[in-house]
Amino acid sequence: MNPEFFGKERVIEVLQTLVHEMCHLWQHHFGNPGRGRYHNEEWADKMESIGLMPSSTGRPGGKRIGDRMNDYPIPGSAFLMVAKALLGEAFDIPWADRFSDAVNLTKAGRS
């Protein structure tokens, strides 16, 4: 994970990336990873079970598996409930660029 990314994206999107990568780690230890950077059904099922919908476009309607994948939070999911609770506790990523507009907008947009 590249810390430069952290300052350019909203904190919730950084958390999504962390969970995405943690699903790869889970699969490496307990499952059967796809070839190369292919995101297979097992990985997609794990993502959904946590609350992130795999999508090649990052939006509804995208392919669920493939080489280049993104995701979006599933409404009412465990991921969203935990992320909202974490962000409600004034959580921050301290190595993010504090002068980035994306980070400042995220802080301002918290409820």
Range with the lowest mean pLDDT among 41-50, 51-60, 82-91, 98-107?
98-107
> Which run of H or E residues covers position 81?
helix 78-88
DSSP state of 58: S
pLDDT of residue 6: 75
When pLDDT is cut at 50, 70 and 90, the band that residue 97 belongs to is low
Maximum Cα–Cα distance across the chain = 41
Q: What is the pLDDT at residue 36? A: 85
Give the pLDDT score at 107: 45
Predicted TM-score (pTM) above 0.85: no
Condensed to tens digits (0 to 9), the pLDDT of residues 23-68 reads 999 999 999 998 888 999 999 999 999 999 999 999 999 999 999 9
Structural element, H or E, at residue 53: strand 52-55
